[in-house]
Structure 1
Amino acid sequence: MTAPPGGAGAATLRPWQAVAIVVGIVVGAGIFKTPALVAGQVPSVGWMLALWAAGGLLTLCGALVYAELSTTWPSHAGEYHFLGRAWGRPVASLYAWARFTVITTGSLVLLGYVYGDYATQLLPLGPHSAAWHAGLAIAVLTALNLRSLRSGANAQALMTALELLGLLLIVAAGLAVAAGFGPVAATAAGPTAGPAAVPGLPAAGPTAGALGLAMVFVLLTYGGWNDAAYLSADLRGRRAIAGVLLVSVAIVTALYLAVNAAYAAILGRAGLAASAAPAADALRVVFGAAAGQLVAAMVAMAALTSMNATLIVGARTAQALGEDWPVLRGLGRWDAGRGTPPVALLAQGALALALVVLAAAGGRGFQAMVEFTAPVFWLFFLLTGLALFRLRAREPLRPRPFRVPGYPVLPALFCLSCAGMLWSSLGYVGGQRLAGVSAAWVGLAVLGSGALALALLHGLERRARRI
């Protein structure tokens, strides 16, 4: 059973379930790590919070762009569909290759190991415990989502709620410390009670380079909201996805500002910048050493929530690729009754499990490679933003249930931010090394291997037509 043309199937998701999926993708393990990296690039808490607010505003601009694209061309294929309409099949297929082989499956492996590292603190499974936890999580979540989209979405809603409760605990602790009352205030030694200050922190206004690098980390933590586009065909009403995007971005922005303000109230900017685990250090200051197990459970839940959401949307690009390429028609199978692409889900899970084994055997090589694909990600993000301008020009009479307000200013701002992040990520990656090779070449290798694979598929397709 395959998806109908354009990937539009039965509407099986309610808006609140879609919001839970999007929030679950975005609010992952990053909020437990990147605030320290951002704090190390700025001279004050005010600058730090301003960057997180700016990240929310830029994300909102992107959400508005995606809302128009998703309501005008609803599809399970998301960005693959938009890129194909605007730039043609080769660009869309190259994106699908990069997403399936590295971006999505690699993210599952990285999130799986984050989950495994913290789950091991709660339930050790012997040698390679983190790998066992990661593999089991991928297998169980894949099976859950094979059962039906609704099963995966209901599980996502529960996990997202638990994850948000954990983050709200950090916010409550920060409010108690800032207010200076109650048993919490007596426990905390103030904003310097956390890690020792980092020497060399910026004392004056930040440089443009520091701001650019900080925004790379900020927008990385906001990353994933765009995956709402893959759910547009699963919602009742073509305008529903616009509301899902705007509500999700608003929730995430408010939560990130509150959590960062809490970190700063408990640890101070210097203490936050010096922290390798801000959530653990903040709760340890407030609640003592016993908070370690609680933090482990919080981070594990955050990683597990992001894994499940990534599984739900990740396989849809591969399914759309299978629809477009006859030689991959098995990958394009769609179960309309369950609302899932079963073959693509199985292929995605199998590849992720293989990468878990490779990562356990070979150390951090593949993990590093995945981290260095940021330029590839921002390149296709930029092309998706530019697709809005191209499609408005090419299809001006097409009905648009939602139009970006402030066009063309807001879409242009989104595209400029994508170009800036592409430039900043290239600068950051250019200084990294992988097995003695500049990491900037890794992204090019991903695109190059995709181009070769697609050329091979094209040749097989032409041969099949002759037979």
Structure 2
Amino acid sequence: MPQKSVNKSDPSYQPKKTLSTIDAIAIIVGIVIGAGVFKTPSLVALNTSNDVLFLLAWLAGGGISLVGALSYAELCATYPHTGGDYHFLYRAYGRPVAFLFAWTRMVVIQTGSIALLAFIFGDYATQFYPIGPYSEGIYALAIVLILTFINILGLTFGATAQKLFTLLEVGGILLIIVVGLFFTPISETSLPPTKPAVSISGSLGMAMVFVLLTFGGWNEAAYISAELKKGARGMASALLWSILIITIVYLLVNYTYIRVLGHEQMASSDAVAADLMRYAWGENAAKFIGLLVAISALTSANATIITGARSNYALGQDFPFFKRLSQWNHQTSSPVKALIVQGLLATTLVLLGLMTRRGFETIVDYTAPVFWFFFLLVGAALFILRKKDPETPRPFKVPFYPILPAVFCVSSTFLLYSSLVYTGIGAVFGVFVLLVGFLVFIVLRR
């Protein structure tokens, strides 16, 4: 039998416009500026031959992200919807592609990101207060459950927590910048590098992979586009200001790393921020970085939980089997059942990570190719929807069309290729889950 979607005009299935532009900026910045900024700079340094190329790579990452944000701003302004990417894919390609995206996002991409960030939090929380042999996993489970509960209480609680976490996170990074620029002498490389920086030949592309992964996450703004008080203009402003803030922060913190540690020592470092603080103020300062990374992971996990549940909500609106996910609680202004399901799936992945630490690493591997595949499809959807809906009002249009959207698609293709090459066997598992989703769609359709 053909499926019938739920009644979307029913108030119990509709979100309210409760978010300000500042709330949206806090969510976007909180997602993007996560634990990656404390880990990837050394890998970027390893794949660039000098300081200029190193900093240009980060500037290029900001530029590419800005191009993508402009394309997303048009889609969000034209089709504001809590489903975000899911809604764009649905309009451009139809139910099968939209369902596959929602399926992989629910089972792999978003829940995997939540579990990954929870484990990062657990790793660093254990350094301060270990609670037994399974300390990391216990902390990870606790943070998934606590943050899910906070957001079940309501978007106001979740957004308030997000602004607090983002303030602590960005404040800590600014402290690193201030210490490195004004209270630390230029390093004479007090610790010899353990491995040399490689030539840019064949490696600059890999450097950009790490840079763009560190910039990743700003597209999550699409999932709150229907809840912004200022609508289309508010979303465009939130995206542009967020990318600008993130790019400035990344350039400053990476310049600080280079200034204090030097290029070769950066390339050989496994914890570049901790090394900087240790060089500046000693071991206690290095421990402080562990707390900062934990806060960063907490910030990103909370923002990921906020946006992830909203794509599950959109899935429930269009597919009766998942109808319960589309119920919106207006008292708390949140999709409670979608949050619960997401929390259970993320908890399952954390438990799998407890069984084998290799499973934790596999989560990182198999999420990347799937993510960039759908990212590319969303970029192409901008061209498709301009042709399909030429009469639809567009409060914001991407400038220099079609050049900028084409650049967005090319960069997404590059990241898809690079993530497939880099992840290896992990990508196979991600593709397998995608195929399972296709089979589920066929069964539900029948």
- State TM-score, norm by structure 1: 0.91
Show the counterpart of 2:317. Answer: 323
Aligned residue in 2 for 1:426? 420
The corresponding residue for 2:373 is: 379
1:218 pairs with 2:211: yes
Secondary structure in structure 2 of the residue aligned to 1:372: helix
Counterpart of 1:463 in structure 2 is: none
Cα deviations by residue, 1:111-152 (Å, 9 ceiling, x for unpaired): 111000101111211220011111111111111100110110
For 1:155, which of 153, 161, 168 is the aligned residue?
A: 161
CA shift for structure 1 position 195: 5.3
Equivalent position of 1:343 in the other structure: 337
Instruction: Give the conservation status (yes or no) of the 8 Å contact 1:115–1:301.
Output: yes
Matched, 1:454 2:420: no
Query: Do the aligned residues in 1 keep the contact of 2:228 with 2:235 (CA within 8 Å)?
Result: yes
Take 1:5 and 1:381, find their aligned partners in 2: how far apart are those partners?
A: 31
Distance across 1 between alignment mates of 2:14 and 2:327: 13
**One-letter amino acid of the counterpart of residue 121, structure 2:** Y
The CA deviation at 1:371 is: 2.3
2:80 to 74, 81, 104: 74
Q: Which residue of 2 aligns with 1:23?
A: 29
Shift of 1:157: 0.3
Answer yes or no: is the 8 Å Cα contact 1:373–1:442 preserved in 2: no
Quick check: 1:3–1:9 contact (8 Å CA) kept in 2?
no
Match of 1:97 among 103, 107, 117: 103
Q: CA 1:2/1:113 → structure 2, altered by over 3 Å: closer, same or farther?
A: farther
Question: Deviation string for 1:339-395 (max 9, x for gaps)?
Answer: 211101001111111221221123322541442321111110000000000000111
Contact 2:365–2:426 (CA<8 Å) still a contact in 1? Answer: no
One-letter identity of the residue aligned with 1:331: L
CA distance in 2, matches of 1:375, 1:234: 29
2:265 corresponds to which of 238, 263, 271: 271
Stretch of structure 1 that moved more, 252-261 or 322-331? 322-331
Deviation of residue 458 (structure 1)? 1.6
Deviation of residue 17 (structure 1)? 1.0
Q: Does 1:439 align with 2:422?
A: no
Equivalent residues in 2 for 1:14-163 (5 A)?
14-163=20-169
Shift in Å, 1:242: 0.4
- Listed one character per residue, the Cα deviations across residues 293-342 of structure 1 (whole Å, up to 9, x for unaligned) are 20111000000000000000011111111111112211221113322111
Name the amino acid aligned to 1:277: A
% of aligned pairs identical?
A: 48
Q: CA RMSD in A?
A: 1.7
Check whether the contact 1:284–1:292 (CA below 8 A) recurs between aligned residues: yes
Q: Cα offset for 1:8? A: 5.6
- Structure 1 runs of 4+ with >6 Å offset: none
SS, match of residue 86 in structure 2: helix
Tell whether the 8 Å contact from 1:160 to 1:305 is kept in structure 2 after alignment.
yes
Pairwise CA distance, 1:201: 2.4
Q: CA deviation at 1:292?
A: 2.7
Give CA-to-partner distance per residue, 1:265-316, whole Å, 9 cap, x none.
Answer: 1111110010000110011000111113201110000000000000000111
* Unpaired runs of at least 5, structure 1: 177-181, 431-437, 460-467
- CA gap 1:19/1:198 in 2 versus in 1, 3 angstroms: same
Letter in 1 for 2:193: A
Tell me the matched-pair count.
439
Structure 1 residues 275 and 200, CA, compared in 2 at 3 Å: closer, same or farther? closer
Task: Note the C-alpha offset of 1:416.
Answer: 0.6
